[in-house]
Structure 1
Amino acid sequence: MSDNVVNLRQVTKKFGSLTAVNNADLEIERGELITLLGPSGCGKTTTLRMIAGFETPTEGVVELNGNDVSDVPPYERDIGMVFQYFALFPHMTVADNIAFGLKMKGVDQSEIDDRIEEVLEMVSLPEVGDRYPENLSGGQQQRIALARSLVVEPDVLLLDEPLSSLDKKLREEMRMEIMRLHRELNVTMVYVTHNQTEALAISDRMAVMNDGEIRQVGAPTEVYQEPAGEFVADFIGSANLVDGTITSNTDSYEIATELDVDITAGPDTSVHDGNLEDGNSVTILLRPERLSLQSGSGNGTNTLSGTLREVTYLGSSAEYFVELADGTEVQVTSPVRGTIDVSPGDEVTVSFDPDAPILLGDQ
């Protein structure tokens, strides 16, 4: 059996003159949890719906287990689907909701009863089989939606923004639940979200999308530390982006910037595009957590002076927003225990080590 459960081969989906997904290529390995991540309208849900069979590609091929299923209806694909708003039948008990797919497959009632009991234990709700959805909390309803999809033992479980309708605490609990089920069942999951934190936390790999195109596929650490261009850099996490020109690339990269400040990037810095010769343009990505803030103005290598405009406290960390002389805003994130005594309007200095910059060459 192929190691890939899902293959998208040059898949395009058009709705009239609108191209929702453009020439998408993606291979999804058996047993992995991959997220389709991007802003609203980027094509991630349309991509998921083509895997599910709810949409047919305009061009290209969707494969499941090596078979072309581009024109195969959803009920003939070995998939489970969890929707954003649960989609439970309100007139059915929890047990009947879970049993629905099994009955459609003609499974014997005694086996249905056993599998309902098993899957309710799996989602930690063993006593709710005779209740109706309206008697459950939002988190419980989402667990039942998961159970209903898992009980048919699908080859692929598709999840479309499954946590977006829950509050923060429930989202975190359900995120852990999905990770636990994935680990214990080793089921292939394709998970659509626009929440970067969620995607970074749960993914084996991420496929970042924008304007209908897959911009980068990789492990969370790879996508965060080695983004494939400015969009990915800016969308995943927080980003300070500075344009510059390479003036030297011998032992390290020396870069003249639009800020009238020279920046040194050490030999161990992360470089996305290796074509960084003298005179070439480069975009410098500085993650806020890699920067340090000091009171007063300063100068020197990898030092930026400016005025503190705002401080936002987030519990465990604080975000500082610094305006440089040319109006550029730089964000610095520090643990609260490491905060300094500064207030909006104070002169401050932002500094960073030579291995902090991430260099993005010509895209």
Structure 2
Amino acid sequence: MTEEEERRFSPTQFFSRTFTDSESLAASIPGGKVDVVPTGYRDFRGTVRLVNLGKGVSLQSAGATAPVTLRTELIGGDTPATTFFFVPNPDPKAAVDGIHLAADMVFSRSCGDISSLRTAGPFELRAVCILNSALRRASAALTGREKMAALETPATLKRAGVAQLANLHSHYALITQAVDAAGWEMIARRKALTEFASDAISAALVRLLDTGDLRTDHLAHRLQTASMRRIDRLIDEDSDHLIGLQELCERAGLSLRTIESIIRRRMDMTAHSYLKRRRLTRARKALLSPGEGVTVTSVAMDHGFTHLGRFSIFYRQMYGESPSETLRNVTGRQEG
């Protein structure tokens, strides 16, 4: 297994942490490269939990007290795995890849996929990450069928059976509550118990997938997802380069109208606002890890913000502090 796979599937690993900034939250979410950007500052508090049960099954959750945009690229190695996401208390305005979440929805994503979650308030996102071989083995034992449509392509499971989804939530909650009550060290020492829990989650997932209304993403949505992935990678690939809308259109091979439509559907903002927010995220990272002689002015200019007053206003709206406060907290020096 790769290092990332070991992090997600080793039966001896567990963590549950709380953070007061979005950067630390993003860095701690397992399974891929993650960006967490507050969409409007409130008192931020984020949580991450990982429980590896062994036998190729891992329980994960992430949550925050403030509305955010969470963008993740799932990373894997040589062992194919699929992550199934669901929410215990859905936000009626929350959306994943432009599809509004509902209480009866489970969506799956595989290694290499880039997805975005947009919330309008406090949220908790739960996930079961499972090796494809483990899910096929459970399916063969429970249904007599090893092949599963849910593993063929990223899919959205709508109108999942109420009893089956409740069963998955129940097993998830029982396991995490047991860890909280007894402590992970006591749980991990009992291999029979972790294997029993792993089998229970696998069985609950198979029953849900076997009885729900499984719908693969339609072609237009898959093409839009691929285009959004291309847009994000063009923005990400050169951190020292400020890409504008014209260059983005040229290099992505898409018209401005198409890019505007995709970003508005996925991120609920204009393309211009999305580029500005991505530049602001980079600017914050630069302020949090400043080199010698770095100033707020140099960081603003390096990231395309030529009006320092507007940069400071926009920055405070997102992070609840001025850029000079961020730099001062890191370096301990006052800007003149």
Same topology, TM > 0.5: no
Q: Which has the larger radius of gyration?
A: 1
Q: TM-score, normalised by structure 1?
A: 0.26
Larger proportion of helix: 2
* TM-score relative to the length of structure 2: 0.27
